[in-house]
Chain A
């Protein structure tokens, strides 16, 4: 199994080298408000200037490949990236929640599933399966089960690189009320009544992020949706066997 992952790693490295085109951040991209019956891509310029009054948090998916079908190369790159993530999880012992905690992953502010490694958030390294900014754990009958990684861009103004084309759709959040973000990236608090942050700066928008699921998420290996029905999750964890 490890040998297979090693080969995947080599393939992934070569694909990543070709995918990082210099004008990647200049391409036109589209957004789609998450949660409706279907995706409706509109140019990113259509994002409302002011945050919504309700709900407290909206999610926008973002893509440079609206309604496109993945090419074979993109599909292979996506698969290789997910397999490299699985390998990194095994090699680093992150399926063991205690090991992950000892290696720097701590529960994110105002959250119950995302465990953040602050060093990796601020290291300017993007999409490195051996340095995921977040690990995602759900409590299951087997204890704290690692269900996926979440990757951040390095700067709040950056767009996420779509290694797997339309298969790897990034997303970001818009909050109705500001949160306090360190370097525009990591939420650590909420402003006081005067609107000031003890740490970080107020912002109503998160950076872009990408999920990579290590269970067979019903909506795909890069699904934006965090919610998995508990009975489905139990079935997935049981099928995985650990």
Chain B
């Protein structure tokens, strides 16, 4: 389990597009949608929402508290302002992220980067 995401929770984006969007704030409230995202290596991951209200930070969360660890390998980096940010999934693995202001409420998520994604439909499926 990483930031509330078990292996079966990760939803897959369309391989052909090699891009995915995670939304937060606004209609998503204090949530990331999808919260648990699987993308293929090299995909672009776009975060859309109010970063000033929900500053983004990379990392693992346990019992509501971020864990101090090296987060350099993951695709996500800190974003403190603006309405969108884009990252590239350059390294395989599972990487956590969270809202630095609302992590204690459980506003967090994870991205799984795999070599290739098995596609079942043209859309993100099973969004939690």
Contact = CB atoms under 8 A, between A and B. Distances in A.
Interface of A: 33-37, 54-59, 110-113, 138-140, 225-230, 233
Given A37-B63, A110-B52, A227-B31, A55 B100 contact: yes
B92 interface: no
A35 B105 contact: yes
21 contacts: A33-B64, A36-B64, A37-B63, A55-B100, A55-B103, A56-B55, A56-B101, A57-B101, A57-B102, A59-B104, A110-B52, A110-B53, A113-B30, A139-B29, A140-B27, A225-B105, A225-B106, A227-B102, A227-B105, A227-B107, A230-B29
Contacts of A33: 64, 104
Nearest to B52: A110
B7 to A, nearest CB: 20
**How big is the B interface, by class?**
20 to 34
B29 to A, nearest CB: 5
Contacts of B27: 139-140, 230
Contacts, number: 75
Contacts of B66: 54-55
Given A58-B104, A112-B53, A227-B107, A35 B64 contact: yes
Interface of B: 25-31, 33, 50, 52-55, 57, 63-66, 68, 98, 100-107
Contacts of B64: 33-36
B86 to A, nearest CB: 21
